[in-house]
A = this chain, B = another copy of it.
């Protein structure tokens, strides 16, 4: 079968390299274009770990060049920049999986939290790319908004409890992420000495993933107030979300989860606990829940760069092009 040519726009960052790593071993996509804002280097100059592994040229990103050879583009760009490329690529007939926040929210919500939207046209038809909730829509989409990492882990953990959740009680999400979630930027906050042997909260009750979680959960029947606090873990990759919800009735939390996800190959329900090591390197979302009285504690673990970004993006692309959902998607964790 002929492979589909795919482009990565924004190949230098962490989600960029993860996309590269997946696409070079993908049975149906062919990585034929890698772009950055500068261009003019080899992939192994950007990512020395890929020396003697992949050696295509990195170009200065150009939508028209992409459209000449590619049917699909992954945008691993900051928000705002992403929508400029998306708009042009879509108009040129290229399907897009956008890893930024630009197409995840309703217009109203977007402009409240991120500022003016420059591509209202395509925003209308963008599909939120959480396959477990939106699979059929994704299959037909030209533009998929790949979910944020915190929203992916949070929504997958909480959504199954929709029928049981007490509507008046707020939902509290205490989330923890490794440092790769902050990207490659270098400020005091990413200095090894400041992160190592440390742990802290940031953007408590103010993080922009909170409205994303709330909006998507509302669409799936959970309109409770959501209170979200992220923390920074002294590790490179991995994300664990701990959520606290109140329910109306006695339930068997484990059964609720296994039943909800019984046909899903990238969600695993754990009987004891979840831990980051078991998902690092994979597209799995592991979930554990326990109930005491009317309180359910539910915890999910993902690899923030894979299930929280690049691997989920390729799952979405697989669906958009009618390939097997798991084609090329990593399932084997980095353990030990």
Measured CB to CB, the residues of A under 8 A from B are 14, 17, 21, 24-25, 47-53, 169-170, 172, 174, 176, 179-180, 184, 186-188, 190-202, 204-206, 225, 227, 229, 231, 233-238, 240, 242, 244, 246, 265, 268, 270, 273-281, 284, 288, 290, 292-293, 295, 297, 299, 305, 331-336
Are B184's CB and A191's CB within 8 A?
yes
* Complex: A293 Cα to B299 Cα, angstroms: 25
Please give the distance in Å from A264's CB to the nearest CB on chain B. Answer: 10
Are A336's CB and B17's CB within 8 A?
yes
Are B295's CB and A170's CB within 8 A?
yes
**Which residues in B have their C-beta under 8 angstroms from that of A49?**
277-279, 332-333, 335
Please give the distance in Å from A291's CB to the nearest CB on chain B. Answer: 8
Query: Given contacts A172-B172, A280-B197, is CB(A273)–CB(B52) below 8 Å?
Result: no
**Which residues in B have their C-beta under 8 angstroms from that of A305?**
336
Are A231's CB and B242's CB within 8 A?
yes
Are A191's CB and B190's CB within 8 A?
yes
Are B193's CB and A268's CB within 8 A?
no
The 8 A-B residue pairs whose C-beta atoms are closest, nearest first, are A200-B275, A174-B174, A49-B333, A49-B335, A192-B195, A205-B292, A172-B244, A198-B277
**Which residues in B have their C-beta under 8 angstroms from that of A297?**
201, 204-205, 227, 229
Query: Given contacts A49-B278, A268-B51, A336-B180, is CB(A196)–CB(B196) below 8 Å?
Result: yes
Are A236's CB and B201's CB within 8 A?
no
Please give the distance in Å from A177's CB to the nearest CB on chain B. Answer: 10
Query: Given contacts A172-B244, A234-B235, A336-B17, is CB(A288)–CB(B190) below 8 Å?
Result: no
Query: Given contacts A24-B332, A198-B277, A297-B204, is CB(A186)–CB(B188) below 8 Å?
Result: yes
- Closest B-chain residue to A196, C-beta based? B236
Are A197's CB and B273's CB within 8 A?
no
* Complex: A120 Cα to B331 Cα, angstroms: 42
* Complex: A41 Cα to B205 Cα, angstroms: 30
Are B334's CB and A334's CB within 8 A?
yes
Name which of A48, A197, A204 has the most chain B CB atoms within 10 A of its CB.
A197
Residue contacts A-B, CB under 8 angstroms, 20 given: A48-B270, A49-B333, A49-B335, A53-B332, A172-B174, A192-B196, A192-B234, A196-B196, A196-B235, A197-B276, A199-B235, A199-B240, A199-B276, A200-B275, A201-B240, A201-B299, A205-B297, A225-B295, A229-B297, A237-B336
